[in-house]
């Protein structure tokens, strides 16, 4: 802690008082706050910083920052943080998922809530060329940026830092508001300014869509605010799915009424959005959904919608089509799924499983099997087997045939908060 003590004594000489006192009234983010920094922690909690205060998650109440990060207190005179981000660097697991805080010309590196030995350091020691007194920072993994990178914001300038080569490129994004904080969430990038945010492309800075938008409608739970879904986190005992699928890139979604949730984003924070946010044609929800290769099939009524699973889902030209035309079946579909590395979709209608070969033309039912349930809500096939969802419970089978031939249902398993973000 020698580095920290040295930093405290130097900073106290020039900052004998700290305006961000923990004894001041607790701020209310629903009144409209310009955050100092926003980042995800290792567990996927979204951390919102303002002065010496902190909110954890979209629903969390305000607390003092030093309750989680003891160095951020009025004894050490650290005050607010200028910027923060969670490192993405799978090539260096000793660095990957660590959280960095920036204050003046210093950087603090945390593993969970523990300050790493040797910190704080001069920013230049860890990030050569990156300026002091930053406005914001955000990580950008390879595939979303050209290489694993960190974007540092200061005024209208953006410093793109390559975490592998430690090379720095500077860009000027004059069209983007000055970001006082930035966040990567669910593969999208957000610049926060005032109590608003603007979504941007992390490579070009391009802004698509209508912005700015009020952060209180999307990134926190506030009375009289909301982004249209009016979704309230259910108790796990009350969960009832309409559909569930895992796409070709490993992203898992569940659908309920008019909302969907990314289930693989515990690491980025679970959150519900209107289905039309990703699949704008699906205005009335979905009955069933399945994924194969680079496409996702959404079924509603007697219509099938097929989307390319790109970063922005795109409806394939000529769709929707009828169930009869696309899959060779008619009637209501309760659930559908495709197992990994297969090209057969298993369609559940009542107490019957109908198999359709997606490589065949025309598509017809190739096999019918009995289903040992009077009704199910959704089903998902993974390498570990098949999960069949009924209300707030699910049943696990080794494979489709064993499910069909089973005379007795296995012991039901309860849906948990870790699975679907519900509350116990």
Cα–Cα dist 205/173, whole Å: 6
In the three-class reduction of DSSP (H, G, I as helix; E, B as strand; rest coil), residue 127 is classed as coil
Cα–Cα dist 202/188, whole Å: 8
- CATH code of domain 236-419: 2.110.10.10
pLDDT (average), residues 174-188: 92
| pLDDT higher than threshold 80 for residue 231 | no
Cα–Cα dist 210/228, whole Å: 16
Q: What is the largest CA-CA distance in the chain?
A: 79
**Can you say whether the dihedral through the CA atoms of 319, 325, 327, 331 is positive or negative?**
positive
Residue among 357, 398, 393 nearest 376 (CA): 393
User: Do residues 392 and 237 touch, judged by C-beta distance below 8 A?
Assistant: yes
Locus of tokens 């005032």: 194
CA 300 to chain centre: 26
| pLDDT higher than threshold 90 for residue 60 | no
| Mean pLDDT over each residue of the chain, to the nearest integer | 87
pLDDT (average), residues 336-346: 95
pLDDT digits (tens, 9 = 90+) for 1-43: 555 554 444 444 334 333 455 455 788 999 999 999 999 988 8
Work out the number of other CB atoms within 10 angstroms of the CB of residue 11.
19
Q: Tokens representing 144?
A: 């979303």
Q: Tokens representing 420?
A: 């679907």
| pLDDT higher than threshold 50 for residue 310 | yes
Q: What is the reported pLDDT for 271? A: 67
| pLDDT higher than threshold 50 for residue 157 | yes
In what side-by-side order are the strands of the sheet with 157-162?
136-140, 149-154, 157-162, 168-172
Q: What is the reported pLDDT for 328? A: 96
In the three-class reduction of DSSP (H, G, I as helix; E, B as strand; rest coil), residue 241 is classed as coil
The domain locations on the chain are 37-217, 236-419
Work out the number of other CB atoms within 10 angstroms of the CB of residue 270.
22
Count, residues in the chain = 424
Please, how many CA atoms are within 13 Å of residue 290, restricted to the half-sphere of its CB?
A: 25
Cα–Cα dist 290/261, whole Å: 15
User: Do residues 357 and 265 touch, judged by C-beta distance below 8 A?
Assistant: no
In the three-class reduction of DSSP (H, G, I as helix; E, B as strand; rest coil), residue 19 is classed as coil
Q: What is the reported pLDDT for 330? A: 95
User: Do residues 323 and 332 touch, judged by C-beta distance below 8 A?
Assistant: no
Q: How confident is the model at residue 248 (pLDDT cuts 50, 70, 90)?
A: confident
pLDDT digits (tens, 9 = 90+) for 343-401: 999 999 999 999 999 999 999 999 999 998 888 999 999 999 999 999 999 999 999 99
Domains 37-217 and 236-419 belong to one CATH topology? yes
Q: What is the CA radius of gyration of the chain?
A: 25
Q: Which residues partner with 272 through β-bridges?
A: 261
Question: The domain 37-217 belongs to what CATH superfamily?
Answer: Hemopexin-like domain (2.110.10.10)
pLDDT digits (tens, 9 = 90+) for 101-144: 999 999 999 998 889 999 999 999 999 999 999 999 999 998 89
């Amino acid at each position: 802690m020698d580095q920290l003590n040295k930093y405290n004594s130097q900073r106290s000489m020039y900052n004998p008082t700290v305006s961000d006192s923990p004894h001041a009234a607790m701020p209310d983010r629903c009144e409209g706050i310009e955050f100092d920094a926003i980042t995800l922690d290792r567990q996927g909690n979204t951390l919102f910083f303002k002065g010496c205060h902190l909110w954890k998650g979209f629903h969390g109440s305000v607390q003092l920052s030093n309750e989680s990060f003891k160095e951020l207190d009025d004894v050490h005179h650290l005050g607010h943080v200028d910027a923060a981000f969670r490192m993405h660097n799978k090539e260096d697991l000793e660095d990957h998922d660590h959280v960095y805080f920036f204050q003046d010309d210093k950087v603090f590196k945390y593993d969970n809530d523990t300050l790493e030995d040797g910190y704080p350091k001069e920013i230049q020691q860890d990030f050569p060329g990156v300026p002091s007194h930053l406005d914001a920072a955000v990580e950008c993994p390879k595939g979303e940026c050209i290489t694993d990178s960190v974007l540092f914001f200061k005024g209208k300038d953006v410093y793109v830092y390559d975490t592998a080569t430690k090379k720095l490129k500077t860009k000027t994004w004059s069209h983007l508001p000055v970001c006082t904080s930035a966040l990567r969430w669910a593969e999208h990038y957000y610049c926060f300014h005032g109590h608003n945010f603007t979504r941007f492309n992390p490579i070009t800075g391009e802004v698509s869509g209508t912005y700015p938008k009020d952060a209180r409608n999307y990134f926190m739970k506030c009375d009289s605010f909301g982004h249209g879904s009016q979704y309230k986190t259910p108790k796990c005992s009350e969960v009832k799915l309409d559909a569930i699928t895992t796409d070709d890139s490993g992203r898992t979604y569940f659908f309920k009424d008019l909302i969907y949730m990314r289930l693989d984003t515990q690491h980025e924070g679970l959150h519900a959005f209107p289905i039309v946010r990703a699949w704008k044609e699906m205005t009335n929800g979905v009955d069933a959904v399945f994924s194969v290769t680079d496409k996702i099939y959404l079924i509603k009524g007697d219509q099938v919608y097929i989307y390319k699973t790109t970063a922005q889902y795109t409806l394939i030209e000529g769709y929707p089509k009828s169930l009869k035309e696309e899959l060779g079946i008619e009637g209501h579909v309760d659930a559908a799924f495709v197992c990994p590395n297969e090209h057969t979709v298993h369609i559940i209608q009542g107490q019957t499983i109908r198999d359709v070969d997606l490589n065949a033309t025309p598509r017809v039912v190739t096999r019918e099997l009995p289903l040992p349930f009077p009704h199910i809500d959704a089903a998902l096939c993974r390498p570990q087997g098949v999960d069949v969802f009924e209300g707030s419970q699910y049943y696990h089978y080794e494979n489709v045939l064993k499910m069909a031939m089973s005379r007795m249902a296995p012991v039901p398993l309860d849906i948990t908060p870790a699975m679907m973000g519900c509350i116990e």
